[in-house]
Amino acid sequence: MAAFAAACGSTLAQPASSGGNLAEIRAQITPLRYTSIASEVGARISSIEVTEAGSFNKGRLLIAFDCSVQEAQREKARAEVLAAETQHKANQRLAALNSIGELELEMSRIAIVRARAELAFNQALIDKCLIHAPFPGRVAEQKVREQQFVQPGQALLDIFDDSSLELEFLIPSAWLRWVKPGLPLRVSIDETRKTYPARFSRIGARVDPVSQSIKVAATIDGRFPELMAGMSGRIEVSPP
């Protein structure tokens, strides 16, 4: 067991080998973070700044929309705010001369609040015309093209964080007596024909009553550029 733990503690990939009497279970590599980017506005796509399978950093511009209509509506809202503020100032002077009542003065103040809310709404729409990356990663699938008009809620890109990969697999529920987060293991990946060190990171919340198994996850120790989401292999772990 000590030799096994020492081997798993290494961060260098080693050639895959058969593991004697080690228990072997199939596992798949999945990204720790992934999402589908969708449009929040109805507009035409002016540019797509990333390509399918391309990588990007956090905060990078992914997609830009042509929001000239929304920008025009924002300028109109700004003008309405200016008009409401001017009217309210005039009403304040008239109120000081007892030329208008309190109701008219209060309504002009409410008009400012309404106009500013409309401006904030239009600015929020403008902000959604540029989509930036929520985390570093790669594009798994590009679902739209430039100059295409999209509707709110329409899927644009599937992205995932390739800097944090984990393994997902099932283990017998009887192993819960000794499997704990942090326990080392090894995974032999079919595509690379190499073995990588990993550690249990999460244990599922429910045992399948039919198969008497439970879903778990393990984090690969170290960063290996050749590994990709979707690869699979076998887990090698030795009970204590």
Q: Please choose, from the candidates 185, 140, 180, the residue with its C-alpha nearest in 3D space to the C-alpha of residue 4.
A: 185
Q: Which two tokens stand for residue 185?
A: 């293991």
In this prediction, residue 14 carries a pLDDT of 39
Which domains can be identified in the chain, with CATH numbers?
2-32+164-237 (2.40.30.170), 34-67+129-160 (2.40.50.100), 69-127 (1.10.287.470)
- Say how many Å lie between the first and final Cα of the chain, rounded: 7
In this prediction, residue 3 carries a pLDDT of 36
In this prediction, residue 24 carries a pLDDT of 62
Q: Which helix (H) or strand (E) holds 233?
A: strand 232-237
Q: How far apart are CA 207 and CA 41, in angstroms?
A: 42
3-state secondary structure of 171: strand
Q: What is the DSSP letter of 33?
A: S
In this prediction, residue 23 carries a pLDDT of 54
Q: Which residues contact 121 (CB under 8 A, 6 or more apart)?
A: 77
44-56 per-position pLDDT tens digit: 999 999 999 899 9
55-67 per-position pLDDT tens digit: 999 999 999 999 9
Q: How far apart are CA 85 and CA 174, in angstroms?
A: 72
Q: What percent of the chain has pLDDT over 90?
A: 75
In a structure prediction context, what are the per-residue pLDDT tens digits for the chain, which is 240 residues long? 333 333 333 333 433 443 334 456 999 999 988 999 999 999 999 999 999 989 999 999 999 999 999 999 999 999 999 999 999 999 999 999 888 889 999 999 999 999 999 999 999 999 999 999 999 999 999 999 999 999 999 999 999 998 878 999 999 999 999 999 999 999 999 999 999 999 999 999 999 999 999 999 999 988 888 888 889 999 988 877
In this prediction, residue 164 carries a pLDDT of 79
Q: Please choose, from the candidates 126, 131, 129, 120, the residue with its C-alpha nearest in 3D space to the C-alpha of residue 71.
A: 126
Q: Which residues contact 203 (CB under 8 A, 6 or more apart)?
A: 176, 179, 180, 181, 214, 216
| Contact criterion met (CB below 8 Å) for 142 and 111 | no
